[in-house]
Structure formats: C-alpha cells, structure tokens
A = this chain, B = another copy of it.
C-alpha cells in the first residue's frame, strides 16, 4: 500500500502549534528548524519508499518457526539493516551510549510514519527502545557496558517478557522464577507468552527483559524482580557465548500484525542478571510504561493516517452514482464518491480524528521531553504530572480511534474493503491488537480515573481544563472564532462539572470507578481534541489574518475544526449520559443470570 507522510500537517503541528525550535533550544539539543525539516523529509522517504511497500506481503507471508528459529517476511531483514545503518534505530537513544537523543516532539512524527507504513515492522524496534529505557535507568554499569550500546544502535534487539498464561493484566499471579548463583548471576525459569520479537532473523542477539520471582520473594506484585536474560551472553572480550537456555516454543497465529513474531518463550534455567533492586521489578517496568504506552498510541494514530489516505484515494477515484444535488462531473460515467455527503462524513471523521489526535500526541510528547529534560525541577515535575494524566488517554483513545478510522476506510471501499489486496482490511486487523496490548484500553481507563484523576482529587485535570478554558475565552473574543470558542468553552465547563461528579460517585461507591472509567476517558478525549481543534483554528485564523499565501490549507483547518465540533464532539454527550447511568445497573445482574 502506498503511504506518504503528512508532512504539511506535521510541520503545522511542530512549528506553528508547538514551536519545536524553541522547545529544542530549551532542551539544548542543538536541533533547529532546518535540521528538523530535513529529518522529516528523510523519514518520509524512508518509510514511504522502503517500509510501506513491505507491509502487504508481510501480512500474507507472516512469520515461520522452524527448529526454534523464526523467519520474518521477505524484505524485513534488509529493511531492518537499513533502519540501523541509517541511524533511525538510535534516534531517541541516550547520547552516552551512542544514541542521538532526539526529543519525542520530533521523533514521534517519525514513529507515526513507521506505524503507518508497517506496524509489524515497527513492533521489533519499538520493544527494543523500551528495553533500552529500562536498562539505562536501572541496569548496573556493567550490564549497561555489555549490552546498551548495541541495543541503542539497533544491532541487538530487546523484548519485554511479562505475560504468562495465567498472568496477563494481573501480574501478581506471575510464576517465573530466578535462582541466585554464586557468581552473582541468576538461573531464570518459566514460560512467557505474547512476547513480541521473542525470536527473529535480523539481529545477532536478543536481550530479553524478564519479570520473575526470587526464591524468598513476597507473594503478589511486591515480589517481582526484573532480569536481563540475553539470547547470547556478552563476554568480556566482546564475543558472544553459546546460546542461553531459552527458546521460542511456538509463535501465535493472530488476527493481524502477522509480520511481527509473537512468541512463547521458554526459559529453562537461563543465565540472567538482576536489573534494579530485588522485588522492584514493577517499578523498573513503570519507567518505560509511559513511553511504551505513548508508542502504542502512535500505532493507532499511524494506522488511522494510513487508512484515511487509502479511503481518500479511493473516494476520489471511484465513480459511482450521482450527487444528491445532481451530476457533479457529467462528463464521466458517474461522480466520484467523494461527492456523497455520507462518504464525506466518513472522510472528515477520519481526518478530524487523525489531525486532532496528532496535536494531542505532540502536546504529550512535549510533556515527556520536559519531564526528563527541563532544567527546572518544578517544571520537570509539572510535565511529569501532565504526561501521566494524558498517557492513558493517548493509548486508549488513539487505538480505539485507529480501529474506527480503519473501519471507515473499509466502508468507503464498499465490497472491495473486504478484499485483502486493497489493504484496508489489513489495517483493521493490524490495529485491533493496539486496543489490547500494553494494558487493555479498559485498564488504561482505570489508570486514568483511579491514579490520574482520583489520585490527586482531580487537581491536575482541573489545571488542564483551566488552561484550555482560557484559550476558549480568548477565542470567544475573536469574531471569526466566537462560535467555535463558545461551544468548546461550554464543553470544558461541562467537563469540569462532570469530573467533580465522577469523583464524588467514585468516593461513594468503589464500583463507580470501573463503571464510569471507559466512558469518562472517552468523554475526556473528545473534549480534549475539541480544545486542540480550537487552537488549530486560532492558528489558522492568525495565518489568514496575516495574509498567508496558503489560504486553502488554513481554510481546511477551519473547516475541519467546524466539522469536528459539530459532528464528532457530540459523542461526548452520550458518554456523559451513559456514565451518569451509574454502576447499579451493571452490578445488579447476578452472574448466573447473564446466561439466560
């Protein structure tokens, strides 16, 4: 499937909305506008020309497991080598281990492009970047020396081995064990499932980060430790040992992302080393959680962009029926289906969700950068709180959105949407995993309401709402934006009231936490996107007022903002009404009565 990175919109978001040059100056990383735009161009060429063409075949061919070795689809191995050689793998890696230390506010655009080009291909490197984060933050100097540089460069890959058959969401049920050895190493044993990239054929070593229990560990999540268990142990002289006592027992047959190997990994007394302190495994994992969940959110965004591009292409080419107000292109056998209001409804829903989400992604990326890189400790803390609030929204909302937008693409193609060669149904299948892994979207919603909203009595959320309310007030004072500003301002007030109500309900009855969680997250996301659309409209109006020559581009932003507020934002109403329906009607049904 063809894919072209949406460079104009990315530049709008980076430069016009978030002033990425000033951000980079503040972070002191030496990136300027010219350099950033150059990277974006290169990234667009790499993903569009090298990665996207592999995606369709990767779905047909999938991965094969033969004698414990996994073969990835044709072209993946070579493309990965290019990914490493051209420095894409090390883009966000720590500078002290050879990484380029790009801020998330720049890197997220490349990662979105990767997701859009081939989610399967991206899975391998995405997991490696997560492992790098955990190892860089918590690993001993020796482990870092032996493993980190090659993981940062992408020469070696990494995995996250958390899930076991009986322990998915509930890691307290984890059974894998680690026996301490005299030399300070451990023998790790257990069976892990759903391990993305557990085996593949394009890196000479794979570094597994494995959650397991020490012999004397307390029960539950407080007794879980994190271990580095390499496929081949790095020896002092830089050579590799014989294969460690671990193996890929099976690969899963899945709905989608068939080019990504999803492995059952068996550890049979494999040699490993503790990362961080004993029994602090979950805390070590949490280090990378925000980034990992942000990346999964970008998967939803990337797939949505690819789906929108596919749908738009088809809607402009496919001739079928005449417009409701008469023939629009009478010289042709029929009008292109983009003339039909309902096709436009689907396309604009896609477009406004994708572009709205891209603004939220950038905003969140900026917080992640400031959390780590701001010079002022208070600023770092503030950014950390803001990022923590937004991450579950980004993960859950973007991935639900990705699935919806891909489904609209299938619908725009009509019967052809169901046919594999057109590629739209693959996007639906590939994106479906994003709602499940890295914490299901239900778990994201619980995290949002419990830790991020109830956790501080709603104060961070209210601060966020307040900032957007100020923007709405400013917009309302400008005639061209008054109507938009008014509608968004009213929703922000409603959000503030609703969050107070949700907090009160949850304090009265713990079941309300879970009963309101998903609807409240969705509600929040739709209103938040309205806030960003208002910002985009204001910037577009500024540009038009200043006499920009890109009139069509900025007018399109105003049209999209109006569409979003009038035709998508109303979804917030139903989420609000539904969650106010409360927990009683969920809990009243006896378990046995479900089956009637």
Contacts and interface: CB of A to CB of B under 8 A. Distances in A.
Given A586-B341, A586-B348, A595-B312, A320 B421 contact: no
A560 interface: yes
A446 interface: yes
Nearest to A439: B414
A552 interface: yes
A454 B532 CA distance: 38
Nearest to A337: B169
Interface string A551-580: 011011001101100111011111111100
B586 A577 contact: no
A382 interface: no
A546 interface: no
Given A574-B571, A589-B556, A518 B345 contact: yes
B436 A428 contact: no
Interface string A236-260: 0000000000000000111110000
B312 A344 contact: no
A437 interface: yes
Given A341-B515, A552-B592, A441 B567 contact: no
A343 interface: yes
A9 interface: yes
A158 interface: no
Contacts of A316: 591, 594
A153 interface: no
A488 to B, nearest CB: 14
Q: How large is the interface on A (under 10, 10 to 19, 20 to 34, 35 or more residues)?
A: 35 or more
B414 A433 contact: no
A173 B595 contact: no
Contacts of A567: 578, 581, 585-586
Nearest to A509: B325
A280 interface: no
A508 interface: no
Contacts of A312: 594-595
A552 B194 CA distance: 40
Contacts of A586: 341, 344-345, 348, 563, 567
A556 to B, nearest CB: 4
A568 B596 CA distance: 20
State the majority secondary structure of interface residues on A.
helix
B446 A418 contact: no
Could you say which of A8, A168, A567, A582 has the most chain B C-beta atoms within 10 Å of its C-beta? A567
Contacts of A253: 419-421
Contacts of A321: 169-170, 172
Nearest to A417: B436
Contact of A437 (B320, B415, B570, B583): B415
Contacts of A372: none
A510 B585 contact: no
A553 to B, nearest CB: 5
Contacts of A563: 585-586, 589
A341 B511 contact: yes
A320 B173 contact: yes
A411 interface: yes
Given A418-B255, A559-B588, A589-B560, A342 B445 contact: yes
Contacts of A163: 415
Contacts of A511: 324-325, 341
Given A428-B432, A552-B596, A411 B441 contact: yes
Contacts of A419: 252-255
A557 to B, nearest CB: 8
A347 interface: yes
A587 B344 contact: yes
Nearest to A420: B253
Nearest to A570: B577
A549 interface: no
A513 interface: yes
A217 interface: no
Nearest to A572: B574
21 contacts: A8-B596, A9-B596, A166-B319, A170-B334, A173-B333, A256-B418, A316-B594, A343-B442, A348-B585, A403-B407, A411-B435, A414-B436, A428-B432, A556-B596, A566-B581, A567-B581, A567-B586, A571-B574, A571-B578, A572-B574, A573-B577
Given A170-B334, A255-B420, A556-B593, 14 more contacts: A170-B320, A253-B419, A254-B418, A254-B425, A341-B511, A341-B517, A342-B442, A410-B436, A411-B440, A425-B429, A429-B429, A562-B585, A566-B578, A570-B577
Interface of A: 8-9, 163, 166, 168-170, 172-173, 193-194, 252-256, 312, 316, 319-321, 324-325, 333-334, 336, 338, 340-345, 347-348, 351, 403, 407, 410-411, 414-415, 417-421, 425, 428-429, 432-433, 435-437, 440-442, 445-446, 510-515, 517-518, 552-553, 555-556, 559-560, 562-563, 566-568, 570-578, 581-583, 585-596
